[in-house]
């Protein structure tokens, strides 16, 4: 029986074929090569239904867009007289890659375009390259390209492109938690848009400034700015931005304990995202609704929505939001009794947060893993993970994540008898939650302080703290947290030999 031919034979044939093809190409005179590229361009255009139209603004998809970047390369090699055709296909190709979330390829195409155009067109190409780098998680490149775009726009006379680049830089800095610099860039963009009379664009920037206010803990100002932007979007008929503003308002309602309004805003936002095809924000809002259902004690629905959100985030390449949705899925698994699955998923989320450089989110994941270790009885492992979590959070401005970790750490310190350290941890958590105007977080901290007083046999203080905690939890969509708090309190009272403490609602009845 004869043995099969060596695997290298086919590769060798292809290698020789490629060498021959390249040699044949180089034997052509430069002028002949240009004509061949021009011919290739014409043939592909004819097969694809003709040359794409020259147009500004939104361009309808065409069959040739899938290989527009190849057509741009043929046009480049066909000579100077094909320069405008090269530009046309670079734009169409870059936009096609963006629509399909291939930001690396899109960014390189915009940079190629910036190399062959001048003035305002060059500034806009650099801005689009920066945006693609931002979405493609090339942070250092993105910032440099945004700043280069701003300089080019100013050389060309400023205007809309400069304002767009400033706003893009602000969003990039905001994602990096450089909130003060981000707000400065956004406000400079807002001033320019208002000078230009571009009310709709100004509405978008108001939402971005609101995001900075939210990061800085000024949630009242954030809500006011979001509502101002939302009114403009509705006035101008900008459905895409209306959906995003509603989603952001939903987040503000949720973190300030207005869960019914949050659910209504997110539900309306989700319908708009789907209507306009805003897939990235559909994923974000779906993930938010997963968190809401989890908090309301509906883990099955939370799991379903989290899986849907993960699927969307993977499609659009949003690794950070994918990790957040994985954490939501992990929480649902935990509440469905699949603790091992939950731990594995939290570790997967942690790896992505580290990969994408989101230290605050990484600290939150470490804190959750610490809590799971505590729940399993691994006190030494829990202590180590809490130290890691707090260390990761120390260099960030993420007070919300820090509050959750501090409360859970206090529970470990209480169980190990270090009451003084537990109280110090809770004092910090309460200060954070109050500065953030986050009643659900404050309730959790007060409840843990009540548990600490029970352990210290200080029953009157425990009752007062417990009443204050449960008074902050009247919302149906915070039911799971209230159930967990009540179960912990019953167990603590039984250990201390005191009657169970009633919730505020039970006392009122």
Q: How far, in Å, CA of 292 to CA of 111, rounded?
A: 42
Q: Which residues contact 143 (CB under 8 A, 6 or more apart)?
A: 130, 169, 172, 173
Q: How far, in Å, CA of 139 to CA of 132, rounded?
A: 10
* pLDDT of amino acid 478: 57
Residues 360-366, mean pLDDT to the nearest whole number: 93
Q: Considering only 76-80, 206-210, 274-278, 501-505, which range has the smallest mean pLDDT?
A: 501-505
Q: Which residues contact 36 (CB under 8 A, 6 or more apart)?
A: 28
The pair of structure tokens assigned to 489 is 């309190």
∠ Cα 337 338 339 (to 5°)? 95
Report yes or no: 64 and 45 within 8 Å, Cβ to Cβ: yes
3-class SS string, 392-459: HHHCCCCHHHHHHHHHHHHHHHHHCCCHHHHHHHHHHHHHHHHHCCCHHHHHHHHHHHHHHHHHCCCH
Report yes or no: 349 and 326 within 8 Å, Cβ to Cβ: yes
Q: Which residues contact 301 (CB under 8 A, 6 or more apart)?
A: 290, 293
- DSSP states along 127-189: HHHHHHHHHTT-HHHHHHHHHHHHHHHHHTT-SHHHHHHHHHHHHHHHHTT-HHHHHHHHHHH
Greater model confidence, 492 or 328? 328
The rounded percent of the chain whose pLDDT value lies above 90 is 57
pTM attached to this predicted model: 0.79
Residues 432-461, mean pLDDT to the nearest whole number: 89
Q: Considering only 47-61, 274-288, 345-359, 452-466, which range has the smallest mean pLDDT?
A: 47-61
pLDDT for 140-168, tens place per residue? 789 999 999 999 999 999 899 999 999 99
Residue 6 has pLDDT above 80, yes or no: no
Residue 342 has pLDDT above 80, yes or no: yes
∠ Cα 86 89 95 (to 5°)? 140
Q: How far, in Å, CA of 277 to CA of 243, rounded?
A: 11
pLDDT for 69-108, tens place per residue? 888 888 888 888 888 888 998 998 999 988 888 889 999 9
The pair of structure tokens assigned to 238 is 């900008």
The topology under which CATH files domain 299-390 is 1.25.40
Q: How far, in Å, CA of 441 to CA of 113, rounded?
A: 49
The pair of structure tokens assigned to 307 is 């899986």
* pLDDT of amino acid 504: 52
Q: How far, in Å, CA of 106 to CA of 149, rounded?
A: 16
Domain chopping of the chain, boundaries: 187-207+224-250, 299-390, 399-509
pLDDT band at 183 (very low <50, low <70, confident <90, very high): very high
Residues 19-47, mean pLDDT to the nearest whole number: 66
Residue 252 has pLDDT above 80, yes or no: yes
């Amino acid at each position: 029986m004869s043995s099969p031919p060596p695997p290298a034979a086919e590769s060798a044939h292809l290698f020789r074929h490629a060498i021959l093809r390249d040699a044949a190409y180089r034997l052509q005179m430069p002028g002949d090569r240009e004509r061949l590229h021009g011919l290739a361009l014409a043939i592909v255009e004819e097969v694809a239904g003709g040359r794409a139209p020259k147009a500004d603004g939104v361009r309808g998809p065409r069959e040739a867009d899938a290989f527009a970047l190849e057509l741009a390369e043929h046009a480049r090699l066909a000579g100077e007289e094909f320069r405008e055709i090269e530009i046309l296909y670079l734009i169409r190709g870059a936009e096609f890659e963006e629509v399909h979330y291939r930001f690396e390829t899109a960014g390189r195409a915009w940079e190629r375009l910036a190399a062959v155009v001048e003035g305002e067109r060059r500034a806009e190409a650099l801005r689009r390259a920066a945006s693609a780098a931002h979405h493609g998680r090339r942070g250092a490149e993105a910032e440099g390209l945004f700043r280069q775009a701003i300089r080019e726009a100013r050389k060309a006379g400023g205007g809309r492109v400069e304002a767009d680049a400033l706003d893009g830089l602000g969003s990039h800095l905001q994602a990096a938690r450089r909130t003060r610099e981000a707000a400065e860039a956004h406000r400079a963009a807002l001033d320019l848009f208002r000078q230009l009379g571009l009310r709709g664009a100004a509405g978008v920037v108001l939402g971005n400034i609101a995001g900075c206010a939210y990061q800085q803990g000024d949630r009242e100002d954030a809500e006011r700015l979001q509502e101002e932007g939302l009114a403009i979007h509705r006035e101008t008929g900008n459905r895409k931005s209306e959906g995003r503003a509603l989603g952001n308002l939903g987040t503000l309602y949720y973190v300030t304990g207005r869960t019914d309004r949050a659910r209504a805003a997110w539900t309306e936002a989700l319908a708009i995202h789907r209507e306009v095809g805003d897939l990235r924000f559909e994923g974000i809002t779906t993930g938010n609704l997963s968190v809401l259902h989890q908090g309301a004690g509906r883990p099955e629905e939370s799991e379903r929505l989290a899986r849907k959100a993960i699927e969307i985030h993977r499609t659009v390449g949003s690794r950070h939001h994918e990790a957040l949705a994985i954490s939501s899925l992990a929480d649902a698994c935990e509440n469905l009794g699949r603790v091992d699955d939950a731990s594995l998923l939290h570790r997967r989320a942690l790896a992505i947060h580290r990969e994408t450089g989101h230290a605050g989110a990484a600290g939150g994941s470490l804190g959750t893993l610490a809590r799971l270790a505590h729940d399993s009885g691994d006190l030494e492992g829990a202590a180590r993970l809490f130290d890691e979590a707090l260390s990761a959070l120390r260099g960030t401005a993420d007070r919300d994540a820090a509050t959750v970790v501090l409360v859970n750490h206090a529970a470990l310190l209480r169980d190990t008898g270090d009451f003084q350290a537990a109280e110090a941890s809770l004092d910090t958590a309460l200060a954070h939650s109050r500065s953030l105007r986050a009643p659900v977080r404050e309730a959790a901290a007060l409840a843990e302080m009540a548990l600490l007083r029970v352990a210290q046999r200080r029953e009157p203080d425990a009752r007062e703290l417990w009443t204050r905690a449960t008074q902050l939890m009247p919302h149906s969509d915070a039911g799971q947290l209230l159930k967990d708090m009540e179960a912990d309190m019953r167990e603590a009272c039984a250990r201390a030999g005191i009657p169970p403490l009633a919730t505020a609602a039970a006392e009122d009845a």
